[in-house]
Structure 1
Amino acid sequence: MLALLHTSPVHVPVFDALQGRHHPGLRLRHTVDDALLARARSHGPAAVADAVRSALAGAVAGGADAVLCTCSTIGAVAERCAADVGVPVLRVDRPMAAAAAAHRRIAVVAAVATTLAPTVALIGEERVRGEAGRGAAVRAEPLGEALDPADRERMREAAVPDGSGTVRTHLVGGAWERFESGDHDGYLDLVAAAVDSVRDADVIVLAQASMAAAAARVNTSIPVLSSPRPGLAAAVRAVVAGAVEGEAPSAAPSAAPEPAARREP
């Protein structure tokens, strides 16, 4: 069984639909705690580490073979808790970041400022891994006037300049307010407009899982990456790997990763 840790209930039907379409043998259990994101936005992701660890432990106690965190802001915190809970803990955006890291000019679009630094850092990790230890990283520019000084400093720390590539960040003003008010169409329209405004990029990353449906509304010819489908597929592989090692099987094998240019969630 795969447990999913969400910070918004809107993710539940998205992942249920992906499970039914691509992983019919997979059992899902959802945990939604929107207070985690609210606190992480106010005090930083580290402030929710104990709460995230507790949520993960509860999922394992409920029978989870692996846990997928669908919130990009707290994904790194969740990953670091894996050793404490004894099962694989995955962040939904890592496979997307790995696909993006193969490109030189990367644009990251987010509706929440605190998502930007973790996403840039993750792409940097995957760039280093993809370059087989050659130490390549990414250069983040510009950080954007919408970021407060603390977020801006975290972004500088997350991306190490070495000339190998760039990550440009785009914060979609007003989008998260629409999301929180329940205006999901308005939210997706603003995200799509921001994506269409991107220039000089080889790939565009939708930093939050809630943005995935905006990919169907864009007109850009630049490939647009979203996290739910590849993130769920990676989690399924973790569940299957545990079954192969002798645990009770919880899922059927996942399909091969989709090409980077596909825009469906």
Structure 2
Amino acid sequence: MTRPGFLHTSPVHVPTFDTLLAELDPATGAVHLVDESLLADARALGAESVTDRVAARIAELRDQGAGTICCTCSSIGDVAESVGDSLGVPVFRVDRPMAARAVGAGRRIGVVAALASTLAPTRALLLEEAARSGAEVEVELVLAEGAWPLFEQGDQESYLAAIATAARGLASGADVLVLAQASMAGAEPLLADLGLPVLSSPRIAAEHLRG
């Protein structure tokens, strides 16, 4: 595995990915860069408004030795991917490998997000991956109301409980559930009794980096 780089919009993701990489390939060390302002401004002004700053952050990671870069923020993931080619470094959004797995898991895909700014990019990504693989899918989206302020307050237990509640509301009409944001991974065990695949992005992205 080439040395991976990560562009985060929350510091909580740093230990998550360090732990996953240590488990999958202990010899691999990652380069992390956290810029919380990217998500705040993307939410306020649209993801395209931060394109130049995302490019600058990716260039920093490249210059620090990152051979492949993962953007762990679903709201700006498409922007990050779009600038990778011009910077001469492979960039992928954290949820792309998850989306590819989801479209292979069933036709009816239920998606839970904690941020409204994540819904449209996630839907577009799933439809893109479905078209790439020749699959036909139906995507149902739900916003976990009130969840994001809990995350911002550091109330992880209540945040994950809100995600799980929203996911359960989709379960009866879905073949597979997608937890749209990397911060939701901890809700996956809370949904183990549903009897259908529940996908979150961090581990799948780390496995993708490992190749």
Shared fold by TM > 0.5? yes
Alignment of 1:179-198 (within 5 A): 179-198=151-170
Show structure 1 runs of 5+ residues with no match: 137-163, 238-265
Instruction: Show the counterpart of 1:223.
Output: 197
- The offset of 1:77, in angstroms, is 0.4
Give every structure 1 segment of 4 or more consecutive aligned residues whose post-TM-superposition deviation is greater than 3 Å: none
Alignment of 1:202-241 (within 5 A): 202-218=175-191, 219-237=193-211
In structure 2, C-alpha distance between the alignment counterparts of 1:118 and 1:236, rounded to whole Å: 25
8 Å contact from structure 2 (residues 127, 137) kept in 1: no
State the secondary structure of the residue aligned to 1:81: helix
Aligned CA RMSD, in angstroms, stands at 1.1
Letter of the 1:120 counterpart: R
Instruction: Show the counterpart of 1:7.
Output: 9
2:107 is the counterpart of 1:104? yes
State the secondary structure of the residue aligned to 2:208: helix
8 Å contact from structure 1 (residues 176, 187) kept in 2: yes
Alignment of 1:51-90 (within 5 A): 51-90=53-92
State the secondary structure of the residue aligned to 1:24: coil
Identity %: 49
2:172 is the counterpart of 1:170? no
- The offset of 1:236, in angstroms, is 3.1
In structure 2, C-alpha distance between the alignment counterparts of 1:30 and 1:65, rounded to whole Å: 12
Further displaced range: 189-198 or 116-125: 189-198
Alignment of 1:2-151 (within 5 A): 2-102=4-104, 103-131=106-134
State the secondary structure of the residue aligned to 2:60: helix
TM-score, normalised with respect to structure 1 = 0.76
8 Å contact from structure 1 (residues 71, 208) kept in 2: yes
- The offset of 1:233, in angstroms, is 1.9
- The offset of 1:165, in angstroms, is 2.9
In structure 2, C-alpha distance between the alignment counterparts of 1:91 and 1:165, rounded to whole Å: 21
8 Å contact from structure 2 (residues 103, 137) kept in 1: no
State the secondary structure of the residue aligned to 1:99: helix
Higher helix share: 2
Match of 2:174 among 198, 201, 210: 201
8 Å contact from structure 1 (residues 97, 126) kept in 2: yes
